[in-house]
């Protein structure tokens, strides 16, 4: 069965450094998402992406964050200058279509640790 | 803004027994979707069951069923004949019909332990 994959599984970085988290969505999916989960807290929506542009973003997704689909397969989340509070599990998801009739398939996550 | 609340941080159940996980939500929308996701210890979230708010009939997927009470804004998950593989975090989630980005709003989760 097709899966969403994410690399790396764990990333350690120093405060102020740039990180890029990578995701390969399911191949025929058209909608892409990033969520994060700070340890012990809720899973929070960051951004959704469709047709090569951001569809919606949350308050968390400020100017330090950006997303890109650099080729036909990868979907990346960049954090320009990491802060300690960016430490979290970051989940990528994709769906074939929009709205709730189409399941969002989640990747296994990337654990980001900012020191 | 929508909120989703799961009031049971942890629950346990004996294998083969039935357990119900609670979820309430708050929204001003009339049409929306509700979901239960399972996150096993391997951390990959999997959709368990989905309910469309305009459907009065409760969704069922094998051993998993929901009790959807629209007026009460309640969406509980019942797991029948619990199996050891059901041990996981369970997240209730909401998606409004009004937002363009298909954003899921999650509850805080319930950690379910199935005991042999």
Supply the DSSP symbol for B41.
Answer: T
Q: Which residue of B has its CA nearest to A36?
A: B106
pLDDT computed for residue B100 by the predictor? 67
| Closest Cβ–Cβ partner in B32, B44, B107 for A107 | B44
Provide the sign of the torsion angle of the four alpha carbons B65, B66, B67, B70, taken in this order: negative
pLDDT computed for residue A4 by the predictor? 96
Q: Do A42 and B35 touch (CB under 8 A)?
A: no
- Give the whole-angstrom CA distance, residue B82 versus residue B15: 5
Q: Do A104 and B47 touch (CB under 8 A)?
A: yes
Q: What percent of chain A is predicted at pLDDT more than 90?
A: 84
Tokens in use for A104? 């969002």
Report the mean per-residue pLDDT for chain B.
94
pLDDT less than 50: residues of chain A:
none
Per-residue pLDDT for B113 more than 90?
yes
Q: What is the pLDDT of residues B42-101, one digit of tens each?
A: 778 999 999 999 998 999 999 999 999 999 999 999 999 999 999 999 999 999 887 667
- Higher-scoring residue by pLDDT: A100, B41: B41
Residues of A in contact with B5 (CB under 8 A): none
Task: State the DSSP string of A69-103.
Answer: --SSS-EEEEESS--GGG-EEEEEEEESSSSTTSP
């Amino acid at each position: 069965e097709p899966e969403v994959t994410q690399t790396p599984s764990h990333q350690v970085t120093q405060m102020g450094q740039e990180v890029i988290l990578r995701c390969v969505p399911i191949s025929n999916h058209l909608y892409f998402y990033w969520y994060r989960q700070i340890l012990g807290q809720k899973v929070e929506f960051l951004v959704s992406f469709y047709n090569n542009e951001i569809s919606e973003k949350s308050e968390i997704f400020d100017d330090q964050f950006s997303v890109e689909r650099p080729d036909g397969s990868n979907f990346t989340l960049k954090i320009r200058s990491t802060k300690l509070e960016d430490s979290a599990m970051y989940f990528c998801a994709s769906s074939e279509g929009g709205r709730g009739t189409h399941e969002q398939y989640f990747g296994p996550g990337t654990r980001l640790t900012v020191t | 803004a929508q909120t989703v609340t799961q009031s049971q941080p942890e629950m346990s159940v004996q294998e083969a027994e039935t357990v119900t996980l609670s979820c309430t939500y708050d929204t001003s929308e009339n049409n929306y979707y509700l979901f239960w996701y399972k996150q096993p210890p391997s951390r990959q979230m999997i959709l368990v069951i989905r309910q469309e708010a305009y459907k009065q009939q409760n969704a069922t997927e094998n051993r998993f069923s929901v009790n959807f009470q629209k007026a009460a804004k309640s969406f509980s998950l019942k797991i029948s004949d619990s199996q050891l593989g059901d041990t996981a975090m369970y997240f209730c989630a909401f998606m409004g019909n009004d937002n363009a980005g298909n954003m899921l709003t999650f509850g805080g989760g319930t950690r379910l332990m199935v005991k042999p």
